[in-house]
Amino acid sequence: MASFEDPEAAEKAVEALNGNDNAGKILYVGRDQKEIERQAELKEKFERIRMERINRYQGVNLYVKNLADNIDDERLRKEFAQFGTITSAKVMATEDGRSKGFGFVCFCSPEEATKAIVEMNEKIIEARPLYVALAQRKEDRKAQLASQYMQRTSSRDMPVTFSHLCFCFYFFLKMF
């Protein structure tokens, strides 16, 4: 920690030293911050990185489920390779290495990903129909499922109107 009487001298020291290599370690030089300021800065930085990552994979990352237990990363990549350049293919596994039955395939372009969805969704591999769709963030998927659930339950709980009752009663009387 160093203190400067002149703010301009402090600023010059930050510019000159911040990010420099010192015996294999990168220096961080900046003005003294309160803990709350540091936390806010870190939170903002991680949020920015998270949003960049989300935007980078938007429309190119596919979710594939109903995979047979013997399908590994390499086989998943091989099955989808015909649709374009794959940047990654990963079958999710338990700690002991057993497949969880789903994975992700990431393409270079949205067009390649769309073609793979059209061709591979419901394709039978190892006697199982694959489910292939664009990968969604967990928060987005939960919100979508909640919305669908609310729409289904609200349509079942619709109040019966007087005219609806009259209509039903009319047909009931016609039956006899």
Where residue 127 sits, what CATH number does that domain have?
3.30.70.330
70, 94: one domain: yes
Q: Structural domain of residue 39, as residue ranges?
A: 7-56
Asked if residue 148 belongs to a domain, the reply is no
pTM value is 0.58
51, 75: one domain: no
Domain count, the chain: 2
120, 70: one domain: yes
Asked if residue 162 belongs to a domain, the reply is no
Determine phi and psi for 12, rounding to 5 degrees: -65, -40
3-state SS of 10-76? Answer: HHHHHHHHCCCEECCEECCCCCCCCHHHHHHHHHHHHHHHHHHHHHHHCCCEEEEECCCCCCCHHHH
Asked if residue 15 belongs to a domain, the reply is yes
81, 134: one domain: yes
Nearest to 63 by CA among 133, 113, 118, 144: 133
| Tens-binned pLDDT, residue by residue, of the chain (176 aa) | 777 788 788 888 888 888 888 888 888 887 777 889 888 888 888 888 877 766 665 668 999 999 999 999 999 999 999 999 999 999 999 999 999 999 999 999 999 999 999 999 999 999 999 999 999 888 877 888 888 888 887 766 555 555 555 555 555 555 54
Q: 85 exposed, middle or buried (CB, 10 Å; 0-12, 13-18, 19+)?
A: exposed
DSSP 8-state code for residue 160: P
